[in-house]
Amino acid sequence: MKQFVLLISMVLFISTSNAQWLDTLQFGSRIEKEIFKKKFNVEPIDPVALLILPGREVVDPVWARERIGDLVSEYRKDLKTTLPKTNTVKSIARTLKSKYLINYKIDAKFKELFLHQFYNNLSAAALYAVALDELKIRYVLVYENDLFSVEVDCDGDKKVVLTETDPSIRNIQYSYSYQKFYVDYLVRQRLVLQSRVDSTSVSDVFEQYYLNRKPITLENLAGLQYFFQGTIWDVRYSEYDYSCLYKASLLYPDMKVKFLFNEAMIRRINQEIATNSFDPVLIANYALSNPLDIKVLEGVQKVLLNYATFQLIENPDIYKYEAFYKRFFEVLNDENFKNMFYPDYLLNRTTYLINHHQEKKALEDLEVLNYYLPHNPNIERNVLIAMANSYFLLGSNWVNLDTIKVCLFRFPFLKQQKEFVNYFTGCYVHQISEAFRQRNVTRGQELLGEYYTFLTDTDHYAVDAELAASVLSPPVRFYTPKNMKKEAEYWPKKFLTVFPGNELICEIANIPSSYEPPIRYKQKQMAFYTDLNSSVQGAWEVEKLFVDDNPEPLLSKCPASRIVFNSNNKCVIEYNGKIHFCSYTFNHTHKCIYILDQKISLILSIYDVNESQMKILVMDRDITKGPRFLIYYRKTKGE
């Protein structure tokens, strides 16, 4: 099945979601589960109860503490001063060692002290610490270089260090690759700067953060006991390893514990991908555990995509999909994370709804999606598919104009989609024809005005000019027999401001094709089918010019008779008889060129451009100043 290898990253444990993991862990006994339930609920727990948990054998923690207390009770009489005597502490250690520390076993558990007299460095340190607790002797439990010791300050400024190791066992040697693996992890989590690693060495940073001396508590020691149990991995994935490392991260949230617990989470997630048995609690907490690692969060998104593919396509069940994400978002319980994953959840659901002929529900989700991710091509594609299934493919169903207006309000980007614009135009053709056929002139004029407003707010490349022209046939047929020429030509001339020189519009209204419409500032520019930057480069000279609404060319008044655009965003413009060397910038959205100079500031609103001719509207950046010039330029060979 699918495989996806997630990147290693640290776990910043989120305590609020711990309790939701309880049912996902393995426990050796009912008592162990009950104690961790108390831990989840932040109830006080005896550290001995935590130390004695790993393994299936049952040992009563109260009995174990009493056994240790009884064994060292004879030393209470010697503790008359604030600090114990050195000999007293050493004698306590000898007593404990003779009773419990008999056989060294590298993976021994604390409870095995009482069952078989097996011990290791960790359980011996725990035994000494519990005994000193019983005697109320102050001590420091130390974890350094993967070894544990108990330090006791004695009278006379002396210190006794209690530790037990097998002399035949050397210190663990970590390979360079493991060291680098851990240091890279710290860098990704922004705990160490890469510059510091570069200036020192991987080994130095590893030693400081992985092997450095740390005072710990008995509860931490219990967590490290789980940690060492969970790091004895074989080649296969072990659910027991995962559970141990999770418990270790609860009791000792140190970087090295989180580091390896994160690896266990990755193993489990990869197993879920392979078996299609996804756990929303695990995936949500993995995301919460890595809030600073973008690559890991992107990996989580891909895992969720795998789940969506399985649950909505390969084995479709929308109810399981909804239940999964409901739990997923409950665990996240963070608005920023929800904003990251919620759009994908909705988008996948809309795809399912469209495929199962539930376009109305899909469009509701897509409206929310469009708010989260405007201009997203996947969202726009699903909107178009849902619209096509609901409206476009119905052919002659032109009675949905009001509904389509609502869709346009919900999804403004539809103005740029040819399929929508053509259907929208068809709806207007139908209703305008009906209005004039029924002699409802007021309604017909109202619809024509609406459609004209729509055209002036829409990029022209999305509009079929011939289909738009068909809107004009009903009013022309209505007014022409009545000899109402002015009324018959009113809307065609308005449409010619949008489609200058369109032969079909001119033919419908019997208007000469040479007719030049008046200039309107709000008129939209013609779309380009070539790159704007490369199209305008070169030298241009004025060919003809119109000022505001004056239909006659007035070459003598041209303010910008010559423009040379260079490729480095520099231009030379002859403006009002003077040469200006200027900079220019493009606004591709509005098809504008901004020309900037100390003495002039112009907007060149481009209507059309090709290899030999350019048609632009020239105006001051302050549109309240001066007239607006519609200028036809021809390209020249001069530079």
**Cα distance between residue 121 and residue 217, in whole Å:** 15
Residue, of 334 and 200, whose pLDDT is higher: 200
Name the residue among 474, 423, 466 with its Cα closest to residue 448. Answer: 474
**Cα distance between residue 481 and residue 493, in whole Å:** 19
C-alpha atoms less than 13 angstroms from C-alpha of 302 in its C-beta half-sphere = 15
Write out the two tokens for 435.
């209005």
Task: Kindly report the backbone phi and psi dihedral angles of residue 264, in degrees, each rounded to the nearest multiple of 5, phi listed first.
Answer: -65, -40
Q: What is the pLDDT of residue 12?
A: 35
Confidence of residue 460 (pLDDT cuts 50, 70, 90): low
Average pLDDT over residues 230-253: 72
CA distances from 365 to 280, 369, 535 (A): 22, 6, 41
Identity of the residue numbered 341: F
Site of tokens 């969720």: 304
**Cα distance between residue 504 and residue 498, in whole Å:** 13
Q: What is the pLDDT of residue 15?
A: 41
How many CB atoms lie under 10 A from the CB of residue 235? 5
Evaluated on CA atoms 414, 416, 419, 422, the torsion sign reads positive
Length of the chain: 639
**Contact (Cβ atoms closer than 8 angstroms) between residue 612 and residue 602:** no
Confidence of residue 132 (pLDDT cuts 50, 70, 90): very high
**Contact (Cβ atoms closer than 8 angstroms) between residue 478 and residue 508:** no
Write out the two tokens for 541.
């000279």
Q: What Rg do the C-alpha atoms of the chain give, in angstroms?
A: 40
Name the residue among 147, 139, 143, 148 with its Cα closest to residue 92. Answer: 139
**Residues 173-193: pLDDT tens digits?**
788 888 888 898 888 888 888
Write out the two tokens for 301.
């998104």
414 class by beta-carbon count within 10 Å (0-12 exposed, 13-18 middle, 19+ buried): buried
Sheet with 147-154: strands ordered across: 158-162, 147-154, 140-144, 214-216
32-36, 364-368, 491-495, 553-557 — which is least confidently predicted? 553-557
**Cα distance between residue 179 and residue 186, in whole Å:** 11
Does the pTM exceed 0.85? no
**Cα distance between residue 239 and residue 244, in whole Å:** 9
DSSP 313: I
**Cα distance between residue 320 and residue 337, in whole Å:** 21
**Residues 283-316: pLDDT tens digits?**
888 888 777 777 788 888 899 988 988 988 888 8
Name the residue among 379, 257, 196 with its Cα closest to residue 10. Answer: 257
Evaluated on CA atoms 627, 608, 456, 482, the torsion sign reads positive
Residue, of 167 and 215, whose pLDDT is higher: 215
103-104 and 118-119 strand pairing = parallel
**Residues 98-130: pLDDT tens digits?**
999 999 988 889 999 999 899 999 999 999 999
Write out the two tokens for 467.
């289909």
DSSP 461: G
Average pLDDT over residues 446-460: 80
**Cα distance between residue 18 and residue 491, in whole Å:** 69
Q: What is the pLDDT of residue 638?
A: 54
**Contact (Cβ atoms closer than 8 angstroms) between residue 387 and residue 371:** no
Q: How distant is the alpha carbon of residue 44 from its chain centre?
A: 39
